[in-house]
Amino acid sequence: QVQLVESGGGLVQAGGSLRLSCAASGRTFSINTMGWFRHAPGKARDLVATISWSTGSTYYVDSVKGRFTISRDNAKNTVYLQMNSLKPEDTAVYYCAATRGATTTWAYEYDYWGQGTQVTVSS
């Protein structure tokens, strides 16, 4: 089992920045890819970004490219999501997830999930 704990959410004005953290514990050696997803009211849970645990290669959805950066610190078993130039439409609960399988953009293929952290961007 892998446990994931997010932190770093909060309220910020449009144009501001936040950094989310996701600390992994347990059988972290089994993790292949980490991802950040977000779930806004009335919408589906959407992928934001992924990062390979071993190679560090990344993927971003178009709506966050150039504004968000996903990174990892293997020594700390932690993944980060630096969010800059935040917009009101970025408001959502952000979830960290991990998969033992191949890198994927599909939420259902992730094996482990954190509890989520609220990000609210005011206009």
- Cα four-point dihedral sign 100, 84, 63, 122: positive
Q: Specify whether the CB–CB gap between 57 and 74 falls below 8 A.
A: no
For the chain, what's the residue count? 123
The per-residue pLDDT for 109 is 93
At residue 101, does pLDDT exceed 90? Answer: no
What is the mean pLDDT of the segment spanning 98-112? 92
The per-residue pLDDT for 93 is 98
Q: What are 21-68's pLDDT values in tens digits?
A: 999 999 988 999 999 999 999 999 999 999 999 899 999 999 999 999
Nearest residue to 90 (alpha-carbon basis) of 6, 17, 7, 5: 17
The per-residue pLDDT for 104 is 87
